[in-house]
Amino acid sequence: MKKKTALQFAILCGVPLVMVLGNSMLIPVFPQMKQAMGLTQFQVGLIVTFFSLPAGILIPFAGFLSDRYGRKVIMVPALFVYGLGGLICGFSALFLENPYSLLLVGRVIQGAGAGGTYQLAMALTGDTFQTNERTKALGLLEASNGLGKVLSPILGSLIALLSWYAPFFAYGLLAFPIALGVWLLVPEKPGSHACESLKEYWRKLKEVFKEKGTLLLTSYLVGMVALFLLFGVLSYISDILESTYNIHGLKKGFVLAVPVFSMALTSYLSGLFLSDKQFLWKPVIIGGMAVTALTLGLLPLFTNLVPYMAILFLTGVSIGILLPPINSLITGATSTDRRGMITCLYGTVRFFGVAMGPPTFGLAAGLGTWTMFLGCAALAATTAIIASVSITPPRPSE
């Protein structure tokens, strides 16, 4: 990567980093929220859901608008809305005796701002970089996303030492400077935006899915299942670290960071190694999902914390290794003027996976640990089988 683009790309990497804090930073604080507001585990999970669902719903519209008007003109206001939603949550908890309802409203606003920001950063990266360099750059973006997941439980636990609602105020402090940096310092390739009507846009989009629909839908499924399992497991682990292992505060943040650290590091290495090895993308995706199924199926066998976290470390590796090739398959599936929508649809299903994870695991925990994790293993194994049948790796010329 050329030195003159390093600063701009560093700012772009800040977008997924701050976006992932939207949910991950709150996970270690769930038990404190549960106690402070008198919530059930399911209601706590809805704090993630009310953020992720509006984000997922609005992502395709962000993709269309970015293809028509430009990436930055959509990303920058969205980052400000994201920060504003966090401040609404923080002030509702600070001033109201029963803040849960208004906090959920703030999470909806925050989620609306989050919609499309990371995916538009991916699209802007795809516009700027080509072929092998694109895969490396996307690997760095995914690693930044993973780094945010690594830092977020530690940051959440650390900031929550002030108060359980203090992490909400951090969103504005982080999002506003990044928004200004994107607007002022990140260049955008001119003349690549679509100018046709929405009807024409959807017609051409349907042509993309007619040609590569199986590949795209299967790639979307893999990304959604991976994030569903990751966030579901993290929310479950956050609860049992306190209730079962008596681990609290900053120490819990570091423990929660173990699987997401392995995921972030593996994403970075996977992006570097696989950039010019497209023939390996399919077996890596299938293998990553298969190992995820194996590790989650084995997890209930362990009760001691060290082997338990070692298994989760491997789960992070198996998820991290498959994300860069999935991202590359999706961003490389179409031309620049359709890439915003294609990547934003991918973001939609990823957010739906995140939204469903914590409340689903909150309900499934009542069925028993074995039932919950064997169900997770079966879901991952089924996804691996679908990927083996439906994903066709691109030719080197693509």
Q: Using one digit for the tens of pLDDT, what is the confidence trace for 231-262?
A: 899 889 988 988 888 888 888 888 988 888 88
Consecutive H or E run containing 385: helix 369-390
Regarding predicted confidence, which is higher, 220 or 275?
220
Torsion, CA 92, CA 93, CA 99, CA 103, rounded to 10: 60
Asked if 368 contacts 300 with a C-beta cutoff of 8 angstroms, the reply is no
| Longest alpha-carbon distance in the chain | 61
How many whole angstroms separate alpha carbon 257 and alpha carbon 302?
19
CATH of region 3-186+194-390 = 1.20.1250.20
CA atoms within 13 A on the CB side of 1: 19
Q: Give me 198's structure tokens.
A: 């929405």
The model carries a pTM of 0.76
Rounded distance, CA 182 to CA 9, Å?
10
Tell me which of 102-111, 115-124, 176-185 is least confident.
115-124
Q: Band the pLDDT of 41: cuts 50, 70, 90.
A: confident
Segment 256-306, tens digit of pLDDT: 888 888 888 888 788 778 877 888 889 999 999 999 999 999 999 988 999
Q: Is 83 helix (H, G, I), strand (E, B) or coil?
A: helix
Identify the band that residue 4 occupies on the pLDDT scale cut at 50, 70 and 90: low
Residue type, 281: W
Greatest mean pLDDT among 146-155, 257-266, 382-391: 382-391
The answer for residues whose C-beta is within 8 angstroms of residue 96's C-beta and 6 or more apart is: 102
Report the candidate in 71, 48, 256 with the shortest Cα–Cα distance to residue 155: 256
Domain assignments of the chain as residue spans, ordered by start: 3-186+194-390
